[in-house]
Amino acid sequence: MNEPATIREMLGTTTGAQPRTIAVIGLSEDPNKPSHYVSAYMQQHGYKIYPVNPSITEVLGEKSYASLSDLPIKPDIVDVFRLPKFIPAIVEEMIQLGLSNLWIQQGIINVEAATRAEAAGIHVVMDRCIMVEHRHLTVR
């Protein structure tokens, strides 16, 4: 978990394979919330964002989906902005869908769910901000 090589691979900085797709669970319409401005940053840096939030229809110019199962594609990364208690269900849905990269945002920790994800072959980054890591890897 949180291996530097895994972070680089998820963000596509080792292969230059961009744009990548990110399903953002818990993406808010509120521009002051981290889920919004972090996702906007990633979008501005070439990543295709797929909002996953059943209570909104659109955000950042993208249609919002109720769940990972409703997405029209298999995202490269599932980025989570939800409370730790919601992570186990997200992991189970990822396993069912065959998704392989889970990014749990800074301040959100669920070790049991992360362990379950890794046991199922899912790469996990937890308690790290995807925007901060991207900046760290791309700003020279």
Residue 94 has pLDDT above 90, yes or no: yes
Please identify, in words, the CATH class of the domain defined by 4-138: alpha beta
d(CA 77, CA 125): 10
Q: Are 113 and 123 in contact (CB under 8 A)?
A: no
Whether the model clears a pTM of 0.95, i.e. scores above it, the answer is no
Compute how many other C-beta atoms are within 10 angstroms of the C-beta atom of residue 53: 20
From 134, 118, 106, 127, select the one nearest 22 (Cα to Cα).
134
| Both tokens assigned to 65 | 């989906």
Q: Which residue has the higher pLDDT, 11 or 56?
A: 56
Lowest mean pLDDT among 3-17, 65-79, 102-116: 3-17
pLDDT band of 105, cuts 50, 70, 90 = very high
pLDDT of residue 19: 55
Which parts of 1-139 fold into alpha helices (H)?
4-11, 34-44, 87-97, 111-119, 130-138
* Sequence spans of domains, the chain: 4-138
Amino acid code (one letter) for 79: D
Q: Are 72 and 60 in contact (CB under 8 A)?
A: no
